Amino acid sequence: MPRFLPLVSLALLAAGCTQFPEIDARVPEAERNAEPPALIALAPLLARADAVEAESRVSPETGAALEARAAELASRPMPATTARTTEAAARVAALAARATSLRGEPVIDPGARARIDAGVTLPAALQ
């Protein structure tokens, strides 16, 4: 280890002698000496946003048409049960039964649980 000490100190000395990068050189001169941006009032912007929101609302005529369409769709009869929905219901029932059976079993088997509880034995060099 003592052999590396002069090399480490030489590397630190060389790193300390490097020139710090000029960060200001990356910013154009016009931007560095320019006036700060002007502040604007927030109230007119909020008023414009409220006006846009009010204009984009649904008109009473469009609202009435949408309500009529929704009522017409709600009055349609529901489709009859098909074989596909029966198959899906059977699959859902099978998955629910499988989930119930898995809930009773431990997630980690007893052998793995014992190894986890025993912890890690550190090597003698690390103790």
Q: Residues 57-108: pLDDT tens digits?
A: 777 888 889 999 999 988 988 776 666 778 888 899 999 999 998 888 788 8
Would you say 98 and 90 are in contact if contact means Cβ atoms under 8 Å apart? Answer: no
* Predicted pLDDT at 23: 75
The full length of the chain comes to 127
* Predicted pLDDT at 2: 67
- Model pTM score: 0.26
- Tokens 């009529």 label which residue? 68
Query: What is the spatial distance between Cα 55 and Cα 47, in angstroms, rounded to a whole number?
Result: 12
* Secondary-structure breakdown of the chain: helix, strand, coil percentages, each rounded to the nearest 5: 65, 0, 35
The H or E element spanning position 93 is helix 83-103
Would you say 58 and 66 are in contact if contact means Cβ atoms under 8 Å apart? Answer: yes
